Structure 1
């Protein structure tokens, strides 16, 4: 595999250079901002002759025993196969596992469910996992959440992933705070070479959505909302009814477990169906991620670094089980996954399926433990996006 470096004024033009020089199958390995724009490191799938010789020698050494053969070149080897952690809970005593789950601040009512089988299997029964679909014509994806929950950076990561995959998104922000998300997101979109549209109310948001071309993906970075404000439910439901967007809650890892459950319940009542776990690399205890997802949200991806390339990866039961079975510092993020591994998450499942019976039971238990006042019964006044 040969590495080549490409430089241009923005990411979009740099990727064009990569495709022209190396073809559509080229892998984007990294990117960084330079004085004159951006620099992209890409790799070709054409093997280096010296590397082929080295591999042959290595295979001969590895296969010195009778009856063994070197790995076939036709084997389907994916980066994700090597990066997927082993479910260490398979070899963890139940008592030790229970202690680890409690250390992560998972409520005892859920610990009982998570220790009845292998941890990854128990997690898959408790929480639904899914991935985003950015196929043509799909509904816009709007990231929502409290202040500082990681919405803007997550939008930047998703936009970067799409640009690298040659699927330019339409990026919209409803944040009007100077020095806030709009300025941060503008830096990222300029680097990517794509426009950033600002919408201040439902009317301007609809006007921005009319800029969508050929069913391209739409990412909406919404302004922060106070989960406990009387207008929050009205603002979020009006957002979905006016734009038909799918709402995705950003939940920072390491926050209070019960508070995260309360917030997940509130946003769930306001038609939020998905969830991204942010700052997984900055938290030792991640029990709040499981607890929030167990309230009925589809767990999609996790923020594992501040890098826009590879800083957001798909969460699976095995990855989550690996973290929960251990105590201590969060793992250091590995090298960014390949473009192919990232784009594989774009073929996601539908989020319209019903909740499993066990999950409904768990959600009811959590709601009982974490009572949330009915927002529907409050005298709310639709404030459109002017309240955001």
Structure 2
């Protein structure tokens, strides 16, 4: 990844320098005022080199075999996963791990609009409440119609108070009220990480409370689009991935592509619209079972469990 800082007397001049050197695909990581004007730090993923082999030396690409062909993962990843057994290949090719603890650093759920961040936040809050550790829950999404009301309905049932904080200062103040050792969950507005203004705002919110960014991404996306989003949110600080709609999407190539491209650790997956028990930990064995089962219509859960 290429990082560069641009300085100018005015924001418009700094943005012009950034676009001229890094182009429109650059992701802005931070902006700040200086004694001389403004400073912008941006990141750009390097382009993959295009290799042209000698004439007559191109071997035909091997077609993807088995259940992976149904999911259409990136070609290089498909080749890596073609080594049976599938669960062991997944464990070698991708990262898996639990969600970070939200005591020291709040968990901030980020992602594009409609990814399932609010429902995922409610699921995590419900889990903590049932475990006897009620968290502080905050939302920075005050623009989307009904967004605050939806999360407030969830937190109200759980006996939690929802803090609405649309600025970095308000968010810092809301989380400062939590008890020592109390976990904190932050829902955010849908973000286009390729929009400089949205990227700057999200980065400022996360930096203000030293949040741990967790990317929430729906299964069933185009694989290339999912990979692009994963790279962009990783540039903003995301290290973990929660794929949602695993109960509805049959093709999971986007999940594989995003985890590889970030790279991001696969943590838990949204497997139900229910707030309680709507998340399940992801492991190579569990993901392999879903990849194998997805092409089959109407496969019962019992059969899927038997594949683990």
Q: State TM-score, norm by structure 2.
A: 0.73
Matched, 1:105 2:77: no
Number of the residue aligned with 1:122 = 89
3-state SS in 2 of match to 1:272: coil
2:134 counterpart residue number: 168
Question: Are 1:197 and 2:163 counterparts?
Answer: yes
Deviation by residue 1:263-321 (Cα, 9 ceiling, x = unmatched): 00100111111110100001111111011001201111001100011001111100111
Distance 1:189 1:285 in 2: 32
Aligned to 2:27: none
Q: Output the aligned Cα RMSD.
A: 1.9
Q: Is the Cα contact below 8 Å between 1:280 and 1:330 reproduced in 2? A: no
* Structure 2 CA distance for partners of 1:155 and 1:332, relative to 1, 3 Å: farther
Matched-pair contact (CA < 8 Å) for 1:98–1:111: no
2:288 counterpart residue number: 321
Measure, in 2, the Cα distance between the counterparts of 1:330 and 1:242: 47
Task: Call closer, same or farther: CA 1:267–1:220 in 2, change over 3 Å.
Answer: same
* Match of residue 212 from structure 2: 246
Q: Secondary structure at the match of 1:325?
A: helix
* Shift, 1:260, TM fit: 0.3
Distance 1:143 1:237, change over 3 A: same
For the pair shown, the structure with the greater C-alpha radius of gyration is: 1
Structure 1 178/263 Cα, relative in aligned 2: closer, same or farther at 3 Å? closer
Q: Which residue of 1 aligns with 2:26?
A: none
Shift of 1:239: 2.6
Shift in Å at residue 97 of structure 1? 7.5
Provide structure 1 residue ranges, at least 5 long, that are not aligned to the other structure. 1-94, 335-388
TM-score, normalization: structure 1? 0.59
CA contact (8 A) 1:131 1:300 kept: yes
Structure 2, unaligned runs of 5 or more: 1-61, 303-308
Determine if the alignment matches structure 1 residue 278 to structure 2 residue 244: yes
Q: Indicate how the Cα distance of structure 1 residues 110 and 188 shifts in structure 2: closer, same or farther if over 3 A, else same.
A: same
CA deviations 1:203-225 (Å, max 9, x no partner) are 11111011111220100001111
**SS at the partner of 1:282?**
coil
Q: How many residues align?
A: 239
Shift of 1:96: 10
Following the alignment from structure 1 to structure 2, what is the Cα–Cα distance between the partners of residues 279 and 236? 24
Q: Distance in 1 between matches of 2:118 and 2:69?
A: 31
Shift of 1:333: 6.0
Deviations 1:242-272 (A, max 9, x none): 1110000111011111100010010011111
Q: CA deviation at 1:331?
A: 5.4
Distance 1:166 1:279 in 2: 27
- Among 161, 177, 183, the alignment partner of 1:211 is 177
* Cα distance, 1:330–1:148 mapped onto 2, change above 3 Å: farther
Cα deviation per residue 1:186-244 (whole Å; 9 max; x = unaligned)? 00000001100000101111110111112201000011111321223322332332111
Change (3 A) 1:329 1:284: farther
